[in-house]
Structure 1
Amino acid sequence: MLFYVIVILVILMDQLSKYLIRAFIDINETFTLWGIPLTHIENSGMAGGLFQGYAPLFGVLAVFFVIGVLYFRRTGEMNGALIDCSFGFLVGGAIGNGIDRLLFGQVTDFIIRSGGILNLADHAIEIGGLLLIIFGVVRWLKNKR
C-alpha cells in the first residue's frame, strides 16, 4: 500500500506543479518562490538536456521501467517499507516525466539547482535511487552477519 500511496502523491504533486508552471510562467522566465529561484524550461531530451528530440523514446522507456518494477515487486524477492518507498519514488517520478514526454513531447523543468534545472519527478527519482542504495547497503550488512 505504501508503494501506491507514494506513486500517486509523486505523480499528483509533479503534474500539478508542471501545470501551474506551464499555465502561469513563460518559457525562460525566472522568478523566486519562497526564496527558491525557478525558471520555466521545456526539455525534449533527458537529464542535462542530452539527446534533445528523443522525448517520446524516453517516454516509452519509462513505461517499460514501470512494468519492470511492477513485475519485480510481484516476485517478492525484495520487500519491506524501505524498498516500497524507493520503488514508489522511482515509479512516481518515471510516470510523472513519462506523462510529459508522451503527451507533450517534452518535460517541463523549473527548479534551479547546481548542475541544471529539474522538476519534482526528477527529485523523486533521486530520492528513490538514494533509498535503493540504502536498501542495498542494509541488506548487504544483514547478509554479512
Structure 2
Amino acid sequence: MTAVDQITKLIVRLNMQVGDTNLFREGILRFTYYQNSGAARSSFQGYGRWFGVLAVVFIVLVLYYRKKQPSNRRWLDVGLAFLVAGAAGNGVERLLFGKVTDFLQFGSGQGIMNIADLSINAGLLVIIVQQILVSMRARKKPSY
C-alpha cells in the first residue's frame, strides 16, 4: 500500500501543477493537486516534518505492541497494517519534503486526500468494526 501511495503521488507531481484539477467522473471524483504541510484537513500548517516524526513514533509503537500481543487477532492486525502503511506513506513525504501530496477529491467535498489517507481510514474502520464485534461476543458469553 505504501508503494502504491508513493507511485501515485509521484505521477501527480510529474504530471500536474499545484492547484490543477482534472475531472475523472463528474460529481464523483476529481484529481486536484494540493500540497499539505500540516495534518488532516490542512490543520496545523507548517508542521509537516513534526508529523513525519510522529508517524515514525506511531509505527514503532505499533510494531512494539504487535510483538507483545498474541498473534490470533487477525482483523486487528489487518487494521494496524493499513494504519502503518498510511503513516509510512505520508511520513516519508513529510520527512523528506515537509509536506504531503494530496490529489483525490470525492464528490463535492472540500477535503483532498491521497492513498495513504485512504489506508488510514480503512485501518480505522477495520479496527472499529473488529472492536464492536469483540464487544458483542463478550456480551453474549454467559458470566458465572
Question: Considering the TM-score relative to the shorter chain, is it more than 0.5?
Answer: yes
Deviations 1:15-50 (A, max 9, x none): 000000001111100002365311001000000111
Alignment partners' CA distance in 2, 1:142 and 1:98:
36
Alignment counterpart, residue 82 of structure 2, candidates 79, 89, 98 = 89
How many pairs are equivalent?
Answer: 136
CA RMSD of aligned residues (A): 1.4
1:117 aligned residue? 112
Amino acid at match of 1:54: Y
1:15 aligned residue? 6
1:39 and 2:32 correspond = yes
Displacement of 1:115 in angstroms is 4.2
Displacement of 1:81 in angstroms is 2.3
The structure that is helix-richer by fraction is 1
Deviates more, 1:122-131 or 1:81-90: 81-90
Alignment partners' CA distance in 2, 1:34 and 1:80:
38
Displacement of 1:105 in angstroms is 0.7
Amino acid at match of 1:135: Q
**Segments ≥4 residues shifted beyond 3 Å:** none
3-state SS in 2 of match to 1:116: coil
2:15 aligned residue? 24
Amino acid at match of 2:72: N
Structure 2, unaligned stretches of length 5 or more? none
